[in-house]
Amino acid sequence: MRTGSSVKVWLAALAVVAAVVLAGCCERCKFQAKEKGKMSVTKEPFGQADGQAVELYTLTNKNGLRARIMTYGGILVSFETPDRQGKLADITLGFDTLEEYLKGHPYFGATIGRYGNRIGKGKFTLDGVEYKLAVNNGPNHLHGGIKGFDKVVWEAGGFENGQGVGLRLGYVSKDGEEGYPGNLACIVTYLLTNEDELRISYEATTDKATVLNLTNHTYWNLAGQGEGDILGHELMLAADRYTPVDEGLIPTGELRSVKGTPMDFTKAMEIGSRIQQVDIGGYDHNFVLNSGGGTMALAATVYERGSGRVMEIHTDQPGVQFYTGNFLDGSNKGKGKVYNKHYAFCLETQHLPDSPNRPQFPSVVLRPGEKYETVTVHRFYTK
Ligand code: GLA
């Protein structure tokens, strides 16, 4: 039994490492030096975490959009897009150095796993077995636990394909990590296309039934990071319903209509237009996407009038957590700016919170032999 299971770990680990290294091989021989138009993938050392070297990759597409991603936490460190005058600005919150990330932060730009969002009381039952997870948010489990995917060093390899430039990240999460069952092999791929899309794809396999809900936790400010609050941004969410939560932000189980409430963004509205009526200090809610998940569909459009920047989010996930940086309080200083309350928003595409304890919600169970695959596309343009 033991031998069988460690062989599986090895196979899973090898598959992930091979996938990222094969892709990375092209990057090492070609891209460091080569440029095709303005398109490029480069990497540089970014320090050490847990005694492991951390690298920072820069992806630049042919229009000059630039994403910087590091191997610690699979974190999107910065993302530069043009405003309507063509002037580039970094529109994501974060830090200039690895040391600042290591001191702790509210998931800026991070890859979140194994479970984005909360699992009530940090436990769930699967196939008759109760699993106890690391508890790190009051009595609940949040964003993968104490050492989630946002705090591990990933294997990485840059690549170029017909669509643009990318980075593939691989990580094998061990059976029992943060309390989750199964050795889980994950690949996260960032692709910056020449159509000005940032596509984030997730793949995973397991050797034991488990639950999984991967997402990305980038904090966006389309006016530029640190350039004031996001209350004037206009938001459209393709969601007629949301999941009301209790005081611990755990869904009550109800899927409630947004109609006539401050949750209604079915028509574009300024984020700040009704935020005072939201009693938990701003938005921190999961919206149930009308698509139901399973096929790619437009989930959200955000527009910032001053810069003209628009971000569309397309996903195959059934939900999206809309969070308005309610816990930012000015103590977060990054990339030369102070981050006050509401200085950014997050739109974390995902399954509904606490799904492992809610049989009526779409399933988040992954079984051996199945492949977890999901994609979220951020499309950028100006108007
Ligand atoms: C998520 C949660 C929020 C908060 C942030 C990080 O979006 O829903 O409640 O924990 O992450 O601070």
When pLDDT is cut at 50, 70 and 90, the band that residue 34 belongs to is: very low
pTM of the predicted model, to two decimals?
0.93
Nearest residue to 227 via CA among 331, 307, 284, 327:
307
Q: Count of CB atoms within 10 A of residue 245's CB? A: 18
Reported as a single tens digit per residue, the pLDDT across 163-172 is 999 999 999 9
CA of 31 relative to ligand 1 center, distance in Å: 36
Question: Do the Cβ atoms of 91 and 222 come closer than 8 Å?
Answer: yes
Residue with tokens 């999206």: 320
Domain residues for the domain of 188 are: 4-382
CA atoms within 13 A on the CB side of 368: 10
- Catalytic position from the list 155, 285, 348, 351: 348
- Tokens for 91? 């529109």
Per-residue pLDDT tens over the stretch 301-315: 999 999 999 999 999
- 222 CA to middle of ligand 1, Å? 19
For the CA of 353, the closest atom of ligand 1 is 8
| The residue to which tokens 């530029």 are assigned | 224
Distance CA 248, CA 139 (A): 8
In which band, very low, low, confident or very high, does the pLDDT at 11 lie, cut at 50, 70 and 90?
low
Domain containing residue 254: CATH number: 2.70.98.10
Q: What is the pLDDT of residue 135?
A: 98
pLDDT for 2 equals 39
Q: Is 105 a catalytic residue?
A: no
**345 with 302: CB under 8 angstroms?**
yes
Q: How far apart are CA 175 and CA 6, in angstroms?
A: 10
Tell me the per-residue pLDDT of 83-97, one tens digit each, with 9 for 90 and over: 999 999 999 999 999
**Per-residue pLDDT for 336 more than 90?**
yes
Pocket (CB within 6 angstroms of ligand 1)? 106-107, 117, 142, 249, 284, 321, 323, 327, 346
Nearest protein Cα to ligand 1, atom 5: 106
CA nearest to 115, candidates 5, 8, 204: 204
Counting the structural domains of the chain, the total is: 1
Q: Take residue 334 and report the two structure tokens written for it.
A: 């990054």
DSSP 213: B
Residue 279, pLDDT score:
86
pLDDT at 54 over 50: yes
Examine the residue annotation and report whether 217 is marked as an active-site residue of this protein. Answer: yes
From 217, 233, 285, 351, the catalytic residue: 217
Which residues, listed in sequence order, are joined to residue 112 by a DSSP beta bridge?
Answer: 215
Query: Taking 90 as the threshold, does the pLDDT of residue 354 lie above it?
Result: yes
244-263 confidence digits (pLDDT tens) = 999 899 999 999 999 999 99
- Using CA atoms, how far apart are residues 67 and 325, in angstroms rounded to an integer? 22
Q: Is the pLDDT of residue 22 over 60?
A: no
